[in-house]
Amino acid sequence: MQIKKFVAPTLREAKEQMKNELGGDAIILGTRVIENDRRFNFRKMFEITAGVDEEIKKTPSFDDEPVIENVDIDVELSRLTQKIFESKENKKVAAEDVVTETRKLTKTQLDEYLEKLLDLEINRQLAKELVEQLKNYDGLLGEANLENYLIAGMASMIPTKEFKVKKNRNTKVALVGPTGVGKTTCIAKLAVISKIIHKLKVGLISIDTYRLGAIDQLRIFSEISDIEMSVAYEPSDMPKLIKKFKDKDLIFIDTVGRSQKNRENLNKIKEYLDAAEVDETILVVSATSSMRTLSDVAERFKVLDYGSVIFSKADEAVTYGNIFNLANKFNLPVMFLTNGQVIPDDILSVNPEYLANVIYKGKLY
């Protein structure tokens, strides 16, 4: 990917520069306001960091693959993360790697594994269950492979879900969750990927339940990414906004509101989502939250009928045991991890094996 920065007195001009230079397929990776900089005579300037895939810049030929009608967003995300996935430590245990020398598991060994799992902040009950499973392999495997079995055992206990979007279905996806977890940022990432990589027509609706005017962030994003956006101030606004976006393949619904500790606030959001007849509601929580907070949020937001979870700020988390704990406690499929502020790069699609490795090794890769 070729990456460049464009600076201009207005966002619109910076975006024009970007389009002229990199073409319509450029992806906006980030924006910032530059103030008090001598280079610009201390004028306020806007900077866009943009990238364009060298592949995309290629002139298409008749040999190019036909356009696939029903694109699957997760396939592309998987492809993007696959390189990392393949290159590091995640290789499956090949037959020749299996250590043939076997011995009995000692109590001390099992305790060590239990300690390790607890250290990863995996709930004690679940950690015991995982270690118990190891006993099934007692005498069958060498120690080097026990860890792999532990990871495989974890993977078998983590539900995941793919983000599937098809063309011409007018799919309505809402992101809900506590304030500040990264819902809007995540919508921006998914919207750009859907638009640029999957060529889907995307619309954005922001629900401002309390007329906070806190929608500027999405508005600026909508402007620079050229993705249409509207604001709903009342549940009754929803049907007409959905109608306005009837030609869109995908509509993201973002929620802005006051404290969601209050049941009434959540009921209000529910009214909007019901009025929009959303197809999929995804809960966003921070991977850095404590298990008590996560459980509380997952319980409270049940009224909104979410079907999967995104763990944001995985880049800031020290351990990932809570992903395992929450997914298990609520039988809740995990859809993505987000790992930074950069739009659209910092989002990772997941599968059980990948998550189990992240959790066990205590780091993203």
Q: Which stretch binds ligand GDP (CB under 6 A): 74-82, 85-93, 106-114, 309-317?
A: 309-317
- Using the rule CB under 5 A, which residue among 184, 230, 312, 328 binds Mg ion? 184
- Using the rule CB under 6 A, which residue among 346, 349, 352, 360 binds ligand GDP? 346
Our CB check for ligand GDP shows the closer of 237 and 254 to be: 254
**Least distance (Å) between residue 174 CB and ligand GDP:** 13
Residue nearest to Mg ion (CB): 184
The reply to whether 309 sits near ligand GDP by the rule CB under 6 A is: no
**Cα separation, 307 vs 256, whole angstroms:** 20
3-class DSSP state for residue 228?
strand
The reply to whether 209 sits near ligand GDP by the rule CB under 6 A is: no
**Cα separation, 274 vs 235, whole angstroms:** 8
Question: Which CB contacts under 8 angstroms, 24+ apart, belong to 102-108?
Answer: 102/139, 102/140, 102/141, 102/142, 103/139, 103/142, 103/143, 104/138, 104/139, 105/134, 105/135, 105/138, 105/139, 105/146
The reply to whether 181 sits near ligand GDP by the rule CB under 6 A is: yes
Residue 180 interacting partner from ligand GDP, Mg ion, none (CB closer than 5 to 8 Å by kind): ligand GDP
- Using the rule CB under 6 A, which residue among 171, 209, 289, 338 binds ligand GDP? 338
- Which residues are registered as beta bridge partners of 21? none
- Using the rule CB under 6 A, which residue among 278, 313, 334, 358 binds ligand GDP? 313
Residue 13 interacting partner from Mg ion, ligand GDP, none (CB closer than 5 to 8 Å by kind): none
Nearest to residue 149, comparing CAs of 141, 139, 157?
141
- Give the strands of the sheet with 250-256, arranged side by side: 228-232, 202-208, 250-256, 171-176, 280-286, 308-312, 334-338, 347-349
Q: Which stretch binds ligand GDP (CB under 6 A): 26-34, 203-211, 311-319, 348-356?
A: 311-319
Residue 4's contacts (CB-CB under 8 Å, 6 or more residues apart) are 18, 21, 22, 49, 50, 51
**Cα separation, 286 vs 319, whole angstroms:** 12
**Cα separation, 132 vs 171, whole angstroms:** 43
Our CB check for Mg ion shows the closer of 26 and 266 to be: 266
Residue nearest to ligand GDP (CB): 182
Contacts with ligand GDP by CB under 6 A: the residue count is 17
Residue 352 interacting partner from ligand GDP, Mg ion, none (CB closer than 5 to 8 Å by kind): none
Q: Tell me which residues touch ligand GDP (CB under 6 A).
A: 179-185, 217, 312-313, 315-316, 338-341, 346
